[in-house]
Amino acid sequence: MELPSTQITKEDTITFLVNIFNEDIIRDVCIYICTHNLTNCFYNFSDFFLKHRIDNDEVKDQIKQNIINLLKNKDYTVAYVFNKTGLVICRSEEEINKSVWKSNLDFTQL
C-alpha cells in the first residue's frame, strides 16, 4: 500500500478507502459466518462502520456492495434488514426461508 498523492481526487479517495477496508470487512464477515447461527442472526454493517470510523456514504455503499457480490459469488443467499444496515447471510434458499428475520418488514432479499 502506498500513501495517496497530494493530487488525489474525490473519486480516487473513495476507491482508496474502499480498497483499504475491503480486507477488514471480508475478515469480519468470515468470522461472523463461522461463529454465528445464520438463521437467527444478521451481520451489522453499522457496527463495522462505527468501529472503523467510516462516515462517507459512498464508501459505505461500495463496501457493502463488494461484500454482497463476494458472498453471492460463493453461493450465499443474502438479504437486507433494518434499512440496509443489517445483512442476513445464509448458505441456501432453504436456510434464508427459515431465518427469523424473514418476517421483518423491510426484509429485502438480494
Q: Let me know if residue 3 belongs to a domain.
A: no
The per-residue pLDDT for 1 is: 67
Give a yes or no: residue 15 inside a domain. yes
The string of pLDDT tens digits covering residues 9-31 is: 788 788 888 998 999 999 999 99
Would residue 87 count as lying in a domain? yes
Report if residue 96 sits inside a domain. Answer: yes
On whether residue 4 sits in a domain, the answer given is: no
2 falls within a domain: no
Model pTM? 0.86
**3-class DSSP state of 27:** helix
Q: Are 67 and 29 in contact (CB under 8 A)?
A: yes
Which of 14-18, 24-28, 71-75, 104-108 comes out lowest in average pLDDT? Answer: 104-108
* Residue 26 lies in domain: 10-109
Mean local confidence (pLDDT), 63-92: 95
For residue 94, give the C-alpha cell. 432453504
Q: How many domains does the chain have?
A: 1
Residue 27 lies in a domain: yes
Within a domain: 104? yes
